[in-house]
Each structure stands twice: as C-alpha cells, then as structure tokens.
C-alpha cells in the first residue's frame, strides 16, 4: 500500500514484436551476452504517461533479459533544458519502480567525441559546412517524389570545410548563419537522407556546460553515437523515428568504419533502432509544448496539477505506480496508431486501489439525519471493516449518536420502485451501524430537504437485522458530533472532448473542461485526520478514492484529491441497467 511499493504483477502478456526481436538477437549471439537498452528523455519538460509506456518498455525489456537500461538525458538543445526537469525525470522513473543503477548518462558527456566524429566526417568528404538559410535549405531539400537540389557548398574541398567547421565551433559565425551537413544523397526518396543537418549554432548557454559550446549536435547525429558508445543493443523509440532509421544506421556505419563500436563478449556491438506506436490518451493532450502552455498560462496549477497527464500529476492525484505500470503493460506494444480510452487508465487505478485502499466514511453533500428514538448524548460504537478485499486489514471502531450526516442523493421524497435508499416508510442499513426506518423529513421553501427523521432498531447494532430479514439499501454516514470537515478537490478529466487535438483551427485551450476541478468539503470520520500521502489513497465508501495532497496537506489536516470515482449503481439503474 505504500506509495513506492511498485512490484508490478507478473505479466502473462503474449510476446510483442520487440520482445521477439530482442529474443532473436540474444539467440543469435548478437548482444555479446547482455541486452542493453536506454531511455533518452530530453530534460525540457516533465514526463507524462506516454513516457511511462516507453520507460516500462525500455526498463522492462532490460529486466526481462537480465540486462541493463541506461537513463540518458538527451540534452543536445540548450533552449529549454534545465536541472529542475532533469531531477524530476529521475524522481518519476524511480517512482515507477525502475532503477538505472550506475548507468546515468548525458548527451553532453559525449560532445567532445561527437565533435571529433564530425571532424573526421569532414576530413573524409562525408560532411560539409552549408550557408543556405533555413528557408533555402528547405526549398533545396524538396519533396519526396522529386530529387532535391544540391547545396552550392556541397563540393567544398575537405580542408576548407574543416577550417569552416573549426570557425563554427570557435564562434566566428552567427546563430543560423551556417550548419554542418552530412553529404549523403540529395535524390533519396527519404527526405531525412538528403544531406541532413548534423550541427547547428546556438548561443544560448547549456544548463551544464554553460558557454563551452556554441554548436550543438542534432538528435539524429547524437543519438546513434550515444547508443554505440554505450554498447546499447536495442534502441526503441516511437514511430515518428522510423523514417530516421536509415540515418541512424548511416551514423553507426561511419562509427564502425572509424573502429568506434564497443566490443562485448567477443562481439562487436552494433546498436539497432526499432519503433513502436506512441501512447495517446483521450480527454487530454500529451505534447510537451501544449502541457507547458497550460502551465505557463496558469490554466493548471503546475506540471504536477492532479489533472495533468504528467507522472508527477498522476502521483499527486493518488494514482499508484503499480496501476500505471499495469496500464502500460495492458496497452501493449504495437505499430498501430491509436488513442487509448482514458477510462482504461482509470479502471487500472480502480483495480489497484480496490485491493489496497482502506475504506473510510465521509459525506460530500450532507443532509442531517436524526434518530428520534435515541437520546441526545447517547452514543454507540460499531466495528467497520477496513478493507473487504483484504481481511488482514482488520476493523476499526466508529462511533455514532442521535444525529448523523448522510448524502443528499441517498434520500428521495417520492422515489421510483427500484430506489432502495432513504425515503419515507422505507428501511435502510446505515453501514456498520444499524437499521434505520425513515418516518419523515423537513424541507425549506424551495423544496430542499433539510432534515431526515426516523427510528433505529437497537437490536440491529452492527447493521444486521435481528430476524435476518433482507435490507436492500446500505448507505454511508458520518457522525455529526464528531465529524471533521476536510477540504476535498473533486477532479475530473481535464478536457471536455475526447480529442482536444482533433481540430487544428480550434485552440485546444478552449476545450478545457470547466468542471475539471470542484472544491468541496467532506464531513469525515475522525480517523481520516491521520491520512498521509505515504499510506496511499483511501476509499471514501461509495464515493471514490481520495489521496491526501502531498503539498497542501498539513499534519493532522489532510486536503484530499479525488483520485477516481467508483461506479455509481444509481446511474446504472437510471439507465435501466
């Protein structure tokens, strides 16, 4: 039940194509005895549930094959990178329950080597410094169905290129004035093969290296180099990189020619890239740029707003790491582009919390219930089950007296036949406490019920009918004399439409769900004062799962985030179910 107890359930999932790929390589002896994968986030934002899918795959495959997974920060673009992001990435991965051991790396660790490789490419006539502007360069590159136009700098002699590259590095050119390009094939049907950019100038200081460099390698150049130098065997990424794969292989080939591939177990380790479809989830956005915009415009309270699809947001909302892992396992690894219903994630959360979350009673929309045949000041104690799914969780004592709070929706003046809760003349079970028969009620001039009255059967203390007769309805309650009023935040889906990205002409921010956060007060049984984030979410009986907010809660005074609702049986009845 602890927040960090993340041992995922053993999976019975059939092998996916990437697992099969790795298995074949292992069998063919191509890994030198060790499968090595990597997870390469850019520290320019927080990780989200989509990243969790990649993390579970990268770390999961390494675990499965007894290998290792490297955490490598892809910090090749100083524009938006920071230590704040880097630290949170580590925290999120640890929270998910994965460990990179000593294998923490940064792209920046390799900048010297990358630059050496660039010089060697220039010296062997495989790269050149190009002065086309970005627009000219795009125009020259052309479209896949027609060959591109070679850059006028394509045939500069190597020694001149080398001097220009060194000038670039020395800061003699302005940002954007020139770049280093590989000389590959301007007629290739693959646009990424048409003399791709390897290095560009950027004078923004790097968050670790400051102004040491003013040129930075492109991801397509840096990534295969990092993989090769670390002896990565299997480099798995999302589908949009599939068209970059020939370039990845081209860079690895050049490193092979330069004798730079590492050897393990007598085998030269050549990294290979394969692609899988990214995770998309309904009712949210997953692009870092869009998430950053929500944060910057104050439309959410931060990256860790409990409505965000970020891992820190989900954690703050009370999603257990095990549920996130189970969900990632469940969606599987394929090449089909699809959006996963957020309901599947929510149900993974419910499945997990149903097993682990202790039950407590709280009332969110209270109306007073008076037990008229109980004396003022009279109190009783009942035993409440802490978790019906876990007998070891035991019971607790809850006290009650003449006045209780019950849920407004649990009373109807004039109910349909199937309504088994409170209404005049009907009997219900007040959970764990007793049987109660409603005899009357009061209402204000607007017809709002202000008080429910009735009588209890003292012989039913504990909630069972003394003669064993059936009582259909059971409702939760809070003892009015001792209930604590604690703040709760009722969270719901962040967007009101399934796909906020669907219409490119519509600003996604207009599609935010105005009801995604409602602040309320819960009247709670006193035990809830002790709830702390380290113990995980609790279930408020019949209302949902609630988690003490790790930032706003104070000792003895939790503030609850609604993690997930439960299914409401009344809603089903209303639909005729």
Instruction: Name residues contacting ligand ATP, limited to 28-47 (CB under 6 A).
Output: 40-42, 44
Cβ(346)–Cβ(563) below 8 Å:
no
C-beta of 238 vs 455, nearer to ligand ATP: 238
Figure out which of the listed residues 26, 36, 37, 50 binds ligand ATP, where binding follows CB under 6 A: 50
Relative to beta strand 179-182, strand 127-130 is antiparallel
Q: Does 278 qualify as catalytic in the annotation?
A: yes
- Only one of the segments 24-32, 49-57, 407-415, 509-517 lies at the binding site for ligand ATP (rule: CB under 6 A); that segment is 49-57
Among 8, 36, 237, 364, binds ligand ATP (CB under 6 A): 237
The DSSP bridge partners found for residue 359 are 539
| 284/539 with CB nearer ligand ATP | 284
Q: Does 279 bind ligand ATP (CB under 6 A)?
A: yes
Compare residues 74 and 230 and give the one whose CB is closer to ligand ATP: 74
Cα–Cα dist 205/198, whole Å: 19
Contact call for residue 286 and ligand ATP (CB under 6 A): yes
Q: Name the DSSP letter for residue 414.
A: S
If one counts every other C-beta atom within 10 angstroms of the C-beta of residue 142, the result is 15
Provide the mask over 525-564, with x wherever binding to ligand ATP is found by CB under 6 A and - wherever it is not.
----------------------------------------
d(CA 246, CA 475): 63
How far apart are alpha carbons 226 and 219 in whole angstroms?
A: 10
Return d(Cα 268, Cα 228) in angstroms, integer.
10
Which CB atom, from 192 or from 278, has the smaller least distance to ligand ATP? 278
Active-site entry in 3, 38, 42, 53: 42
> Which is the catalytic residue, given 53, 164, 254, 288?
288
Closest CA to 115 of 178, 169, 192: 169
Q: Which CB atom, from 108 or from 559, has the smaller least distance to ligand ATP?
A: 108
User: Could you say which DSSP state residue 173 is in?
Assistant: S
202 binds ligand ATP (CB under 6 A): no
Whether 288 is catalytic: yes
Among 35, 36, 37, 53, binds ligand ATP (CB under 6 A): 53
| Of residues 492, 67, 528, the one with CA closest to residue 537 | 528
- The residue ranges of DSSP E strands in 458-540, in sequence order, are 474-475, 478-479, 484-491, 517-524, 538-540
The single residue listed with the structure tokens 């707003």 is: 305
Label the pairing between strands 68-73 and 104-106.
parallel
Strand order in the sheet with 560-565: 359-360, 538-540, 544-548, 560-565, 484-491, 517-524, 362-363
Tell the smallest beta-carbon distance from residue 49 to ligand ATP (Å): 8
Q: Which is nearer to ligand ATP, 34 or 290 (CB)?
A: 290
- Confirm or reject binding of residue 54 to ligand ATP (CB under 6 A): yes
Residue of 274, 278, 396, 509 with catalytic role: 278
Least CB distance to ligand ATP at residue 339 (A): 11
Choice from 238, 347, 455, 482 touching ligand ATP (CB under 6 A): 238
Name the residue among 39, 45, 108 with its Cα closest to residue 81.
Answer: 45
**Interaction of residue 164 with ligand ATP, rule CB under 6 A:** no
Shortest Å, Cβ 485 to ligand ATP: 40
Number of residues that bind ligand ATP (CB under 6 A): 15
Q: Are strands 395-401 and 379-385 parallel, antiparallel or unpaired?
A: antiparallel
Nearest to 125 by CA among 150, 166, 159: 159
CA distances from 46 to 105, 273, 276, 457, 548 (A): 18, 24, 21, 56, 22
- Confirm or reject binding of residue 288 to ligand ATP (CB under 6 A): yes
- Sign of the dihedral defined by the CA atoms of residues 253, 258, 260, 264, in that order: positive
Helix axes 158-169, 111-123, angle to 10 degrees: 160
Kindly indicate which of the ranges 51-59, 392-400, 515-523, 526-534 contains the residues binding ligand ATP, using the contact rule CB under 6 A. 51-59
Residues 6+ apart with CB under 8 A from 186: 140, 147, 148, 149, 150, 154, 194, 195
Comparing CB distances to ligand ATP, the nearer of 36 and 286 is 286
- By CB under 6 A, the residues from 57 to 76 that bind ligand ATP are 74
Compare residues 339 and 354 and give the one whose CB is closer to ligand ATP: 339
At its nearest, how many Å lie between ligand ATP and the CB of residue 39?
6
CB of 40 to ligand ATP, least distance (A): 5
Which residue's CB atom is positioned nearest to ligand ATP? 50
Q: Which of 154, 192, 274, 278 binds ligand ATP (CB under 6 A)?
A: 278
Q: List phi, psi (to 5°) of 208.
A: -115, -40
Q: How far is the CB of 188 from ligand ATP (least distance, A)?
A: 24
Alpha-helical segments (H) within 28-99: 49-64, 83-96
Is 217 among the residues that bind ligand ATP (CB under 6 A)? no
CB 463, min distance to ligand ATP, A: 47
Residues within the interface to ligand ATP (CB under 6 A): 40-42, 44, 50-51, 53-54, 74, 237-238, 278-279, 286, 288
Q: Which residues are catalytic?
A: 42, 278, 288
């Amino acid at each position: 039940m602890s927040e960090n107890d993340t041992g995922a359930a053993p999976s019975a999932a059939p092998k996916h194509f990437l697992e099969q790929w790795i298995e074949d390589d292992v069998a063919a002896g191509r890994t030198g005895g060790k499968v090595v994968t990597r997870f390469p986030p850019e520290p320019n934002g927080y990780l989200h549930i989509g990243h969790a899918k990649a993390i579970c795959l990268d770390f999961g495959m390494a675990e499965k094959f007894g290998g290792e997974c490297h955490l490598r920060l892809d910090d090749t673009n100083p524009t938006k990178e920071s230590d704040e992001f880097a630290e949170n990435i580590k925290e999120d991965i640890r929270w998910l329950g994965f460990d990179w051991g000593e294998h923490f790396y940064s792209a920046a660790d390799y900048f010297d080597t990358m630059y050496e490789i660039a010089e060697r490419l220039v010296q062997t006539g495989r790269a050149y410094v190009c002065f086309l502007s970005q627009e000219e360069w795009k125009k020259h590159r052309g479209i896949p169905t027609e060959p591109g136009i070679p850059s006028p700098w394509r045939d500069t002699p190597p020694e001149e290129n080398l001097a220009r590259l060194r000038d670039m590095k020395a800061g003699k050119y302005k940002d954007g004035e020139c770049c280093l390009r590989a000389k590959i094939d301007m007629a290739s049907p693959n646009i990424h093969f048409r003399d791709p950019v390897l290095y560009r100038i950027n004078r923004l200081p790097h968050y670790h290296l400051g102004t040491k460099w003013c040129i930075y390698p492109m991801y397509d150049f840096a990534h295969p180099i990092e993989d090769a130098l670390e002896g990565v065997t299997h480099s798995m990424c999302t589908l949009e990189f599939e068209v970059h794969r020939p370039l990845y292989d081209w860079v690895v080939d050049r490193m092979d020619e330069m004798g730079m591939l590492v050897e393990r177990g007598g085998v030269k380790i050549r990294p290979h890239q394969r692609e899988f479809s990214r995770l998309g989830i309904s009712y949210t956005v997953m692009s870092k740029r869009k998430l950053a915009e929500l944060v910057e415009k104050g439309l959410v309270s931060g990256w860790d707003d409990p409505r965000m699809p970020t891992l820190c947001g989900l954690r703050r909302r009370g999603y257990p790491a095990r549920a996130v892992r189970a969900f990632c396992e469940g969606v599987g690894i394929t090449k089909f582009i699809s959006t996963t219903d957020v309901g599947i994630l929510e149900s993974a959360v419910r499945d997990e919390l149903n097993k682990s979350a202790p039950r407590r009673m709280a009332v969110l929309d209270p109306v007073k219930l008076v037990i008229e045949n109980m004396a003022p000041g009279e109190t009783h104690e009942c035993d409440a089950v802490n978790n019906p799914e876990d007998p070891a969780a035991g019971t607790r004592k809850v006290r009650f007296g003449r006045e209780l709070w019950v849920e407004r929706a649990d009373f109807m003046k004039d109910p349909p036949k199937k309504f088994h809760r409170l209404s005049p003349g009907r009997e219900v079970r007040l959970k764990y406490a007793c049987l109660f028969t409603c005899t009357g009620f009061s209402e204000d001039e607007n017809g709002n019920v202000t008080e429910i009255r009735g009588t209890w059967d003292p012989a039913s203390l504990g909630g069972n009918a003394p003669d064993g007769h059936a009582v259909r309805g059971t409702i939760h309650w809070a003892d009015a004399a001792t209930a604590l009023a604690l703040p709760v935040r009722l969270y719901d889906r962040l967007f009101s439409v399934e796909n906020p990205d669907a219409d490119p002409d519509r600003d996604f921010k207009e599609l935010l769900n105005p009801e995604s956060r409602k602040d309320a007060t819960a009247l709670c049984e006193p035990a809830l004062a002790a709830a702390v984030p380290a113990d995980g979410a609790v279930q408020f009986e019949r209302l949902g799962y609630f988690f003490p907010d790790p930032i706003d809660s104070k000792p003895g005074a939790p503030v609850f985030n609604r993690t997930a609702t439960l299914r409401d049986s009344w809603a089903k009845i209303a639909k005729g179910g």
